[in-house]
Structures are given as structure tokens and as C-alpha cells.
Amino acid sequence: MAGRIPQGFIDELTARADIVELIGSRVELKKAGREYRACCPFHNEKTPSFWVSPQKQFYHCFGCGAHGTALGFLMEYDKLSFPEAIEELAGRLGLDVPREASAQTDQSGSTQPLYDMNLKVARHFASVLGGDARAKEYAKKRGLTRDTVEKFMIGFAANSWNDVLKRFGSTDADRKVLFDCGLVIERERSDSRTLERFYDRFRDRLMFPIRDSRGRVLAFGGRIIDQGEPKYLNSPETLLFHKGRELYGMYEVRQSRTTLKRLLVVEGYMDVARLHQAGVTYAVATLGTATTPEHLRRIFKLVNEVVFCFDGDKAGRAAAWRALGNALPEAREGRQIRFLFLPEGHDPDSLVGEEGREAFEKRLDGALPLSEYLATALGEQVNLAHADGRAQFAELARPLVSKVAPGVYRDLLIDRLSESIKLPTARLNQLWFNEATDAAGSHSPSASPDPARAGGQARLNRPRDGGGNKGLVTKAVKHLVHFPGIATRITGAQLTQLEMTDDPGSRFLFELIDQLQQEPAANTAVLLTRWRERPEGVRMTALASEELAAGIDEAGAALEVASAISTLSLEPTLRRHQELLDKGELTEDERAELRELTIAMARSKGAGNSSGTGPAGR
Ligand SMILES: [Zn+2]
């Protein structure tokens, strides 16, 4: 059986494709300015309204609305399935389509060279750390003992563009393996097959090999040791590495002899290393993503208890909220899912260093159960003193509770939530699950006749509380679709602000930019192909067909996005500010809050015009 085609390959293929050449081989194209034009192959016409953009690698017909990427064209015109379209496009470019490693290919050895290379490079990084005074000093400053460095095989990537490349990439075949491991990056538009074609991905970073449960090195995470962006950098998705599946530290957890009762999920490799060092040998970390359902399935294969640990700041709370959303489908009787929020200004690394294992574990014991966290977090979003607020609470809770499988656990959860809104459990159950059968259907995009109208568009467009976010989010997304490269110009501080809002559109924008920063997309087509299976992808593809304002270039688009973000980030502040103003009589605390909000608003107005220059505080 053929395995899944890795996303990294699909990205690369789409980036390399030439849509003009592809469509030109089937339809007669005429150059018109920067684009190409033809009579549409999908509908009957005499005057050409079918356009192909080499820059966006995208086609669009103004007559019938047909549009898409090179892969999309092959699917529509040649009537191919997605994998068949990939095979066809790869064949044209003379590439073999890789398939994800299954247990069989593992043993047949086709991925063995990648494992071998990763191990060699991990050992090399470890030896560089041993010989580099500055890196050693940094590891020491972060409180890592020699034992921990050895246990986690921590190393250092030299501040060089080709240290790894020169050492391990002397032949074409070796360079191919380095590239497939994600250790080197290919320069754009280089036909040369020499060393010059590639450069090292990891430079001047403390390196953490990411190992599978058998101890094989799958990938790397690197933390910058001085100033620089991004602070954390992971290997891209490869044949071996799928970050939505792997948890950093799982191998080391399994190596420790203690009986495993629970797992602690934290956010960084440094946290994992320091926690293990302090004796909390059941800590793992996600790798630059929110906890995925796949992570949770892996966790619950091993233990029945998981504690998610987050920073107590707003970014931490936003991350916790996302983890909660993914944890709900896995919640059931017999399983404990809890949330721990650390005091502000602390991460697990600093806290366990300061107070030691016992005190830290006391915190874990007192972590909030999922039901409590859900009730508290929802309660903070509304005013439970009024009927309106309680109704809003029920509205917010419904889609979340529907993610939990029916059963004892869900009943108990509904029990707990009904307490918050002072409504009998039976009534809430009836409201949510008897009358509201439509809610379940709308979760599955394939069940909906028109996905653009269902989940995707709703999420992109629907403003909460009647705010004017609809246009802003759509506008920002549109600019990103046209110029995916501008995502890297959004600073960490801007992104964090966006992540803190509770508007679904802003959340989506956050997810989009976050993904593009971690895995940049070479052009519009790469981005659209990545999102092809998500409901939002349909809307994004439609936005790719729309024109931007005349004459707008990449820099202009970046400014548009930055300004949309500052307005969107400010929205909750404005709403709360207005709420307090409307209230009239204010308590001491509320007056203080009002003052803070006013200051925050003034500050945002000042920062709104200077996009891209602020410090990245993520
Ligand atoms: Zn047409």
C-alpha cells in the first residue's frame, strides 16, 4: 500500500510547478501584461476571460468562475484525483513522489539513510557544543547539567551557513539526504547541483534532537542563543517527522524507570529538559503547534492522566483554550485532563528551578480539571449575573460540548456547566442535543452542499457581537493569499496580540500567519494547496481570484495586514472600554481597569502606524 504523500513534498512540487507551461500545453495562452489569457477551457466562449498568473501560480476565469492551482487544473481538466494530479505534475518535473514511511518501508530500509544522517548530525552538534565556550556558557546559564545535556543529546549548531552541508554533504546523494532530513534549505532558482545550491537550516542555535519512542532521531528543534528570530526553529515536516504527531521528550520519558501514571505537556524543549533534571521525568512538549488530537491519542495509549501546563499570561491562556478544543473529543470517563496555569512571569523551567520538584508537583495535583477550566473560562467571557450573559454562555458552550462523545463524562460536564448558568441539566441537554441537530451537521464540511457558505466562510466572515471584523479579517487574509511571503514581516508582538482576541476570524488569521511563519509558502498556490482540505481553503481560493487594489505591491500588502491586525487586536479592548463607560457607576477595580484600557488604546494608536518595526516579544 502506498503511504500518504508528505506535505513538504506537495509544497515543494507546487512551488516548482510552472502553471503557464502546464496550462499552455493544453490550452493556447497569449501573453497579456504580466499574465496570460485564453478562451476558457471550462466553458464555451468567444472572447477570452480565462487568466493565468505566473506570479500567483493560479488561474481564474471571469466568465464561469473556474479557478485554482496547477494541481487543481489537472484535477479539473484531466479529471484526476489529487494523488494522481501530484504524480502527473511530479512526472513532468522528473521527480519521484515520496510516500510516508509505513512500518514496511522502515524495514526495507528506504528511510534508513535519513535516520542515519540525523543521528550523525546530532552527534556532530553534541560535539560542537562540547567545544564551544559561548554555547557551553549559555547551557550552563540556563541551568542545564552535563547529565541532562547527555540524556537529551543536546548540541549546538555552529554560526555557519554550511558547517553541516560541508561536513555531511560531499556527494549529490548525501545532499539529497540532508535536504530530505530538512537539515539544509535549497536556494531559490538555483540550477547548480553543487554545494552552493543549499545552505544549513540551523545556525547558532542550541540543538535538541527530537527522537521517536525507539530513540531514533527524527528531527531537530533549535533555540537561538542570543538575540534573533525566530527564537525557536523546528525541522520542517519530512518523511520521518510530523510535528502534529510527535511529542518532544517521549523517548526520554520512556527511558526513565518509574511507573508512568501521568504525562505533563509543556511548551518548550528547555522546559522538558529542566523538568526531567528536577525529577519530573514525565514531561513532554509539543513542537511549535497546539496539542493535536493525534497527540492526545498517543498520550492516552500510555496513561490516563494528562496535565497541560501553560504560562499564566494571555498568550498562555490562548494556547490553553486551543488545547482544550482539541482535548474535548478525547475526554471520557476514566481519563483525567487537567490544566495548570503558572504564575505570571514564570515558565516551568524557571519555576521548577526555583521551588523544586515537590512544590511543583503540588501545583500539578491542584491543576484545574477540564470541566472546571471550561466553566471558568466561559464564565470569564460573559456576565453571568444577567440572563443575557447566561444565554451567551450556553451558546458558547454548545459547540464545545458537542465535541465530547455522548456518555457519562459528557453528562457530568453538562451538569457542571448547568450549575454556572443556573439551568436544570435536563433542560440544557434538551436545548443542546435534541432541538439542535443542525449544530452537529455543520461541523463536517463534506456534509454541507456548499463548503464556502458553511464553516469556512462563517469563520472567516462572521463578526462577533456585530463588530466590524468581517471585512478586516477577509482583507488581511486576501493580502496574505496574494503575497504569502509577508507573513514573516508580522512581528511576534503583533501575533501575540492577535492570538489573545476571542474572535474566531482573528483566531483564524493568527493560525494562518503562525503557520506561514513556521513553514513559509513560496507562492499563492503552495498556500492554497496546503489548505485545500479545510473549509477555509475554499474561501481563500476564492480570495485569490479577487484583485487587490490597483498598484498594491508586497510592501503595501504587508502594511495592510499589519494595520488590520492592530485594529483587530484592539477590538476586545474597545468593547470592554465601551461596556465600562456605559455602566456609569464603577467599582474601584473597574475604574482601575478603565484607566488601563485607555492607556492600552492610546498605545495601540501610536503603534498602529509603525508596522513591522516593533520588538518581537514572543
Ligand atoms: Zn470559464
pLDDT on residue 616 = 40
C-alpha 191 to ligand 1 mean position (Å): 36
pLDDT on residue 277 = 94
pLDDT digits (tens, 9 = 90+) for 361-418: 999 999 999 999 999 999 988 888 888 888 889 888 988 898 888 888 888 899 999 9
Q: Which of 464, 469, 455 is nearest to 537 (CA)?
A: 455
Kindly tell me if the per-residue pLDDT of 140 is higher than 60.
yes
pLDDT on residue 604 = 65
pLDDT on residue 101 = 58
Residue 589: left if φ>0, alpha if ψ -120 to 50, beta else—which one? alpha
C-alpha 512 to ligand 1 mean position (Å): 30
460 — pLDDT class (breaks 50, 70, 90): very low
Instruction: Report how far residue 243's alpha carbon sits from residue 295's, in angstroms, rounded to the nearest whole number.
Output: 9
**Best mean pLDDT range from 82-91, 159-168, 293-302, 590-599:** 159-168
pLDDT on residue 440 = 38
Average pLDDT value for residue range 241-267: 85
C-alpha 573 to ligand 1 mean position (Å): 46
HSE-CB of 340 using CA atoms within 13 angstroms: 23
Kindly tell me if the per-residue pLDDT of 114 is higher than 80.
yes
Q: Are 527 and 484 in contact (CB under 8 A)?
A: yes
Cell numbers found for residue 85: 494530479
C-alpha 525 to ligand 1 mean position (Å): 19
Q: Are 446 and 418 in contact (CB under 8 A)?
A: no
C-alpha 66 to ligand 1 mean position (Å): 6
HSE-CB of 571 using CA atoms within 13 angstroms: 26
C-alpha 529 to ligand 1 mean position (Å): 21
User: Cβ neighbours of residue 540 under 8 Å, at least 6 residues apart?
Assistant: 477, 481, 527, 528, 531
pLDDT on residue 606 = 55
**Best mean pLDDT range from 21-35, 446-460, 462-476, 502-516:** 21-35
- The answer to whether the peptide bond before residue 230 is cis (omega within 30 degrees of 0) is yes
Pairing, β 30-32 against β 35-38: antiparallel
C-alpha 20 to ligand 1 mean position (Å): 17
19 — pLDDT class (breaks 50, 70, 90): very high
Say how far residue 404 (Cα) sits from the centre of its chain.
Answer: 23
Percentage of residues in the chain having pLDDT higher than 90: 35
C-alpha 45 to ligand 1 mean position (Å): 8
pLDDT on residue 107 = 44
pLDDT on residue 108 = 44
Kindly tell me if the per-residue pLDDT of 52 is higher than 50.
yes
C-alpha 37 to ligand 1 mean position (Å): 11
Instruction: Report how far residue 617's alpha carbon sits from residue 214's, in angstroms, rounded to the nearest whole number.
Output: 36
Q: Which of 47, 79, 74, 78 is nearest to 63 (CA)?
A: 47
pLDDT digits (tens, 9 = 90+) for 168-221: 999 989 999 999 999 999 886 556 555 578 899 999 999 999 998 778 899 999
Percentage of residues in the chain having pLDDT higher than 70: 88
Pairing, β 262-266 against β 305-310: parallel
546 — pLDDT class (breaks 50, 70, 90): confident
C-alpha 76 to ligand 1 mean position (Å): 12
C-alpha 65 to ligand 1 mean position (Å): 6
Instruction: Report how far residue 399's alpha carbon sits from residue 395's, in angstroms, rounded to the nearest whole number.
Output: 8
The mean pLDDT value of the chain amounts to 83
454 — pLDDT class (breaks 50, 70, 90): very low
Distances (CA, A) of 178 to 107, 304, 446: 20, 38, 39
pLDDT on residue 464 = 39
Burial of residue 422, with CB atoms counted within 10 A of its CB: 0-12 exposed, 13-18 middle, 19 or more buried: exposed
C-alpha 447 to ligand 1 mean position (Å): 27
Say how far residue 533 (Cα) sits from the centre of its chain.
Answer: 15
- Taking every pair of Cα atoms in the chain, the longest distance, rounded to a whole number of angstroms, is 78
* Residue matched to cell numbers 463578526: 463
Cell numbers found for residue 487: 507573513
pLDDT digits (tens, 9 = 90+) for 117-138: 999 999 999 999 999 999 999 9
**Residue 415: what residue type?**
D
Q: Where are the beta strands (DSSP E) in 103-224?
A: 155-157, 184-186, 198-200, 205-211, 217-224
C-alpha 55 to ligand 1 mean position (Å): 20
State the DSSP H helix or E strand holding residue 338, giving kind and residue range, or none if neither.
strand 336-341
pLDDT on residue 369 = 94
Instruction: Report how far residue 312's alpha carbon sits from residue 320's, in angstroms, rounded to the nearest whole number.
Output: 10
C-alpha 449 to ligand 1 mean position (Å): 22
pLDDT on residue 196 = 74
Instruction: Report how far residue 312's alpha carbon sits from residue 88's, in angstroms, rounded to the nearest whole number.
Output: 50
C-alpha 222 to ligand 1 mean position (Å): 48
C-alpha 5 to ligand 1 mean position (Å): 31
C-alpha 548 to ligand 1 mean position (Å): 21
* Neighbour count for residue 566 (Cβ, 10 Å): 18
Cα angle for residues 418, 424, 427 (degrees, 5° grid):
100
Q: Residues, the chain, total?
A: 618
C-alpha 49 to ligand 1 mean position (Å): 7
- Mind giving me the DSSP string for 505-543? HHHHHHHHHHHHHHS--SSHHHHHHHTTTSHHHHHHHHH
Average pLDDT value for residue range 456-479: 62
C-alpha 91 to ligand 1 mean position (Å): 27
Kindly tell me if the per-residue pLDDT of 289 is higher than 80.
no
pLDDT on residue 178 = 95
Strand partners, 265: 284, 308
In this structure, the dihedral spanned by the alpha carbons of residues 438, 442, 446 and 447, taken in order and rounded to 10 degrees, is 10
Average pLDDT value for residue range 587-596: 84
C-alpha 38 to ligand 1 mean position (Å): 10
Kindly tell me if the per-residue pLDDT of 50 is higher than 60.
yes
Sign of CA pseudo-dihedral 251, 252, 256, 258: negative
